[in-house]
Amino acid sequence: MKTLERTLSIIKPDAMKKPGATGDIISMLEQKGFRIIGAKMLEINKAQAEGFYAVHAGKPFFDSLTNFMSSGPIMVLALEKENAIADLRELMGATNPANAKEGTIRKKWAANIEKNAIHGSDAEDTARFELSYFFAGYELAR
Ligand code: ADP
Ligand code: MG
């Protein structure tokens, strides 16, 4: 049986800067059946980016990634759908857009392995952490 899930997505600063990308990405999400239950545009600082990506602390790309994520506006989205976590990962495409399949968001909008347009939670526990990082319960639609 499929279960209704929630996941956290972020339209990253590179995509936010590209004319037409933000609306197109939201449209691709809606066309796949994701219901937007929370959304906000904001800019996070370096420390907030480090907190969000704490699981990657120590990796060679951590400093550059957190600089990038705090370099401009982002849009954080709380999404709901059956099988949302895995389905969002599939719609996003591979981390490195060079390996992303046709029809995926990263294939269409990502520039490179770092500036790859979109984030999506990778598991139930990370989805719970990431949703609570950006949204209070009262901010989510019923
Ligand atoms: P994903 O976003 O697909 O879950 P990861 O969790 O492995 O990928 O990495 C988090 C983010 O860190 C990626 O989306 C990307 O922006 C960046 N990143 C990952 N690997 C690299 C790398 N080798 N070089 C530069 N940036 C990277
Ligand atoms: Mg990840």
Question: Does 100 map to a domain?
Answer: no
Structural domain count, the chain: 1
**Spans of the chain below 70 pLDDT:** 1
User: What residues line ligand 1, using a CB cutoff of 6 Å?
Assistant: 56, 61, 65, 95, 113-114, 116, 119, 122
Take atom 14 of ligand 1 and give the residue whose Cα is closest.
95
Question: Does 106 map to a domain?
Answer: no
Write down the pLDDT at residue 2. Answer: 75
Write down the pLDDT at residue 107. Answer: 98
CATH number of the domain to which 74 belongs? 3.30.70.141
Q: Is 87 helix (H, G, I), strand (E, B) or coil?
A: helix
Question: Does 124 map to a domain?
Answer: yes
Write down the pLDDT at residue 3. Answer: 87
Is the pTM above the cut of 0.75? yes
Question: Does 99 map to a domain?
Answer: no
Question: Does 36 map to a domain?
Answer: yes
> What single-letter DSSP state applies at residue 54?
G
Q: Which domain holds residue 21?
A: 4-87+118-137
Strand partners, 42: 74
